[in-house]
Amino acid sequence: MRRLSLTLVFIGIVTTLTYAQSHQLTGRVIDEKGDPVPFASIYGRKAGGGGTSANNEGIFKMQLPVGEHELLIRSVGYKQATKRVTMDADRDIQVILLAESYLLDEVVIGNGEDPAYAIIRRAIRQRKAHLLEAAPYTAKVYIKGVQRLLQAPKKFLGVDIDEIGREIGLDANRTGIVYLSESESRITVRPPDDFHEEMISSKFSGNNRAFSFNRAADLKLNFYENHQPIFDGLSARPFVSPIADNALAYYRYRLLGTTEENGLTINKIEVIPRRKGEPLYEGDIYIVDDTWRIYGVNLQLTKASSINVLDTLDVQQEFIPLENGQWQPSSIRFDFVGGLLGFRVGGYFAAVYSEYAANPEIKKGAFNEVLRIAEGINERDSAYWAENRPLLLTDEEQRDYVRKDSLQRRRETKEYRDSLDRVTNRFKPLGILTTGYTHRNRANRSFFAFDGLATSLLFNSVEGLALNYGIRYTKQIDTLRNRNFTVYGNARYGFANKRFNGYLGTYLPIGKSTLHLYGGSNVQDLNNRGALQPLFNTISTTLFGRNYLKLYERTFGGLEWRYTLPANVTATASAVWENRLWLPNSTDYTFWERNKQHLTSNNPLVPGEDIPLFAENQAFKITMGLSYDFGTRYETYPHRRVYLPSKWPTLAVTYTKGLPRIFGSDVDYDLLMARLYKTGIGLGLYGQVSFDVRAGTFLNDRQLRYTDYQHFKGTKTLISDQQLTTFLLLDYYRYSTAGNFVEAHGEYNLSTLLTSKVPLLRRLKLQEIIGFHYMHTGELGHYGEWHVGLEWQRLRVIYARSLGSAADLRGQQAIRIGVRLF
């Protein structure tokens, strides 16, 4: 112990002396005209030496030991500069970067193939070798993210943007910084896929309790991969690397010239998309002669690349050699501009990599944890950041931190929160009627939410016009774990059958689990999978006389417990008592008299007569379930762990037991069911696939009612809320079963693979859909459907055709319009 203590003291002394024998170098990088060169890289001549980057005003700083140093200053499009400095005191320098001149050999001129193609072919052949050559390494990554509001309307959907702008620090023109954040992380990488990030500091303008949204993993961009997804939602398909295996089918190339840097011959090649509407880059890529590796990129994505929301996204990346011979990024930068609905935004994310170390010791299972954010990393003071940030703040960014820190202190006072609540809690009659009303109390982190009256109205043939009104109270009881206590209630009244129902429930966080308690009565769909939304049934019944929704009254009380076990296994258990009462129709109202002939009874099996489907009965049921998605990757935040979706399907198994003679229960059955499902399985440029397979059996069916059957999602209306597990031509109720069953659903989304090649459709970004649905029960036998269609945003138009063996299902076809409500 004594030897260890002395060692630690010695290390501390050496570290202090080393720091004391260093000085600060500040500088500015400009071009020949005196304009700043933003985000230039500055690093030592020695391979793998420490480095930094200039900010967007060309200003940089770095700490260097006493002595002679040779610095290399680089920026894409400029000729590399060398600067010798003697660090015997703090120094300030200026560096001028000249525009790079790339010489083009005369042999290029002619009618033959451009020499760029030969270089690109060699780079493609070496792509996989460069992808896999890197040894495991660690590095430090600094990230700065800045987003500005460039333009905004005075009002949007009735909301005063001027008022919001004052609260978040915008100027009188509703412009300014809306997001400014910095972070430092240490990353451990085992190429090509294993990645671990530990955030070591975080700063968020306007909220010193929040953690930065900056993630090194999100800025990880590897052009040696065939495809790059970049940001979620930016495109329906990933983008094709200029040196992907099939890149020659997507790009044309032109050699702009060559230059010499650090003894290397660098080829500057223009990348030109062959077609519009494809997920392709345009711009320049720099390839090193002989080794055919990437030296840097200056690429752009535009509307011609079918990106969403943004108009342009510029990508710049530079690489440096490390001591072990491998090359890694020194910096990467994304600049973007875009707009929507009268708003214009712009900004950038810039990452600076340093302190590379090869072949670190990696513990088994280290990459299961993808991200770690420890407590206290957002408490670093301004002195820490002044010392450690490699990208100096601009004057505007410094003012933003000061202004928003002041705004935050004001926002945290009770007086301010109360005044804000008085404004936002103003009673608005139109809101009560349409969107509802929310009453907040920011001081104790709670709110009441009331449904809108108009949106709570519905119509069906059982209740007639009905009011289904809900209220919810939520209070945040654990800000660190983001856990809430919730109480909700609902009141429902049918004006035709004059029946009132209501229920209450609560969600109680208990440790790492959640307990859900509920009880009351409600009018519910006979199909417990909610095949038909009340809104669509209201339209179908009133306008067309097609009252497809069949209902019953359920009085109930129950509890449900949910807990996530280690290894991302989710366990659930529930118990519920019910009294089930079948209800007859109480009205035959439709807008047009002629449509009354289409109305059917509330018994889906005997549509011509109001014969009760079942007698009033009671049931007591318990259900236990386990689900596992075969993924062990997770993110660790202060006081909580969040598991990430796996690339593998999720397997879920549930067992339900209907217990007789308990609380008067009339049921006695056992249902075992298994489910395997996965959505959004990426196929690169060829879209994505989703599937859902379920199978089950009633081990015991001695006594059960129709509501206990296994039901299936059907569709009979033109417009519906289509989900992956929805049959497009199946009746909602006729084919429910109390026996063995199998159902399978699959869908292939081509993600504009075909429509992007049609000029008239390209702008719409229509995604092509191909799907199938299969079901087997003892009563029905084999039944199948296939469908094709187009999807835009949350709207889809589908043509479906059945492959049913039953005579009444064989050869059915229909057009369906899907509206994704949730």
**φ, ψ (nearest 5 deg) of residue 761:** -95, -15
Per-residue model confidence (pLDDT) at position 20: 43
Burial category of 12 from C-beta neighbours within 10 Å (exposed 0-12, middle 13-18, buried 19 and up): exposed
How far is it, in rounded angstroms, from Cα 377 to Cα 531?
A: 48
Please say whether the beta carbons of 456 and 450 come within 8 A: no
DSSP state of 169: T
Secondary structure class of 799 (helix, strand, coil): strand
Between β-strands 634-637 and 369-373, what pairing exists: parallel, antiparallel or unpaired?
parallel
Helix or strand or coil: residue 429? helix
- What percent helix, strand, coil does the chain show, rounded to 5? 15, 50, 35
Largest CA distance in the chain: 99
Max mean pLDDT among 49-63, 101-115, 203-217, 751-765 falls in 751-765
- Only one residue has tokens 């709670």, namely 446
Please, what is the Cα angle at 268 between 259 and 291, to 5 degrees?
A: 80
Cβ neighbours of 166 (radius 10 Å): 14
Is the Cβ–Cβ distance between 757 and 775 less than 8 Å?
no
pLDDT digits (tens, 9 = 90+) for 130-140: 988 878 899 99
Q: Is the pLDDT of residue 28 over 90?
A: no
CB atoms within 10 A of CB 60: 25
Determine how β-strand 327-340 pairs with β-strand 650-658. Answer: unpaired
Q: Residue 665 in contact with residue 618, Cβ under 8 Å?
A: yes
Burial class of residue 353 in the structure, from the number of CB atoms within 10 Å of its CB (0-12 exposed, 13-18 middle, 19+ buried): buried
Rounded Cα distance between 280 and 271, Å, is 9
Q: Which residues 6+ apart lie within 8 Å of 211 measured at CB?
A: 199, 202, 204, 373, 377, 378, 637
The pLDDT value given to residue 479: 67
Residue 629: exposure state from Cβ atoms within 10 A (0-12, 13-18, ≥19): buried
Model pLDDT, residue 46:
63
Q: What is the strand order of the sheet 59-65 is part of?
A: 59-65, 22-30, 91-96
Provide, rounded to the nearest whole percent, the portion of the chain with pLDDT above 70.
94
Taking the C-alpha atoms of residue 667 and residue 657, their distance in angstroms, rounded to an integer, is 9
**pLDDT at res. 36:** 85
Geometric angle at alpha carbon 128, from 127 and 133, rounded to 5° = 105
Q: Give the pLDDT score at 110.
A: 54
Average pLDDT over residues 780-789: 93
Q: In this predicted structure, what is the pLDDT of residue 21? A: 60
- What is the mean pLDDT of the segment spanning 551-573? 92
Cβ proximity of 747 and 818 under 8 Å? no
Q: What is the DSSP letter of 594?
A: G
* Domains, the chain: 2-96 (2.60.40.10), 115-410 (no CATH), 667-822 (no CATH)
Between CA 492 and CA 499 the distance in angstroms is 8
Rounded-to-integer distance, Cα 84 and Cα 716, Å: 78
Taking the CB of residue 644, how many other CB atoms lie within 10 A of it?
A: 15
Q: Which of 82-86, 212-216, 687-691 is the most confident on average? A: 687-691
Choose the weakest-confidence range: 21-30, 325-334, 343-352. Answer: 21-30
Contacts (Cβ under 8 Å, ≥6 apart) of 675: 650, 651, 652, 653, 654, 692, 693, 694
- The C-alpha angle 375, 380, 386, rounded to 5 degrees, equals 150
Long-range CB contacts (within 8 A, 24+) of 468-472: 468/492, 468/534, 472/448
- Quick: pLDDT tens for 490-502: 999 999 999 999 9
**Residue range 757-766: average pLDDT?**
84
Dump the DSSP string for 722-783.
--TTB-SS--SSTT-BSS-EEEEEEEEE-TTTTGGGSHHHHTTTPEEEEEEEEEEETTTEEE
pTM: 0.85
pLDDT digits (tens, 9 = 90+) for 632-667: 888 888 878 888 888 899 999 999 999 999 999 999
* pLDDT for 3: 33
**CA separation, residue 174 to residues 152, 205, 395, 406, 531 (Å):** 6, 18, 19, 19, 45
Q: What percent of the chain has pLDDT over 90?
A: 49
**pLDDT, tens only, 79-91:** 888 888 887 788 8
Amino acid in the structure at residue 653? V
Give CA–CA dist 693/496, Å, rounded.
Answer: 41
Q: What is the per-residue pLDDT for 463?
A: 97
With beta carbons less than 8 A apart as the criterion, state whether 52 and 58 touch. Answer: no
Average pLDDT, the chain: 87
In this predicted structure, what is the pLDDT of residue 732? 94
3-state secondary structure of 126: helix
803, burial (CB in 10 Å: exposed 0-12, middle 13-18, buried 19+): middle
Question: Which tens digit of pLDDT belongs to each residue from 584-620?
Answer: 999 999 999 999 999 999 999 999 998 999 999 999 9
Residue-wise pLDDT tens digits, 330-353: 889 999 999 888 888 899 999 989
**Rounded average pLDDT over 275-283:** 93
Distance CA 38, CA 189 (A): 28
d(CA 491, CA 466): 10
4, pLDDT greater than 60: no
Pairing of strands 369-373, 194-204: parallel
Query: Which of 26-30, 75-79, 98-102, 106-110 has the least mean pLDDT?
Result: 106-110
What is the average per-residue pLDDT within 208-225? 80
Strands 781-792 and 795-803: antiparallel
* Cβ proximity of 198 and 209 under 8 Å: no
Query: CA 295 to CA 301: how far, in whole Å?
Result: 20
pLDDT tens digits along 505-548: 999 998 888 999 999 999 999 999 987 899 999 999 999 999 99
First to last CA, the chain: 61
Q: Cα–Cα distance between 435 and 456 in angstroms, integer?
A: 10
Tens of pLDDT, residue by residue over 726-757, are: 999 999 999 999 999 999 999 999 999 899 88
Q: How many other C-beta atoms lie within 10 A of the C-beta of residue 565? A: 11
Q: How far apart are CA 5 and CA 11, in angstroms?
A: 10
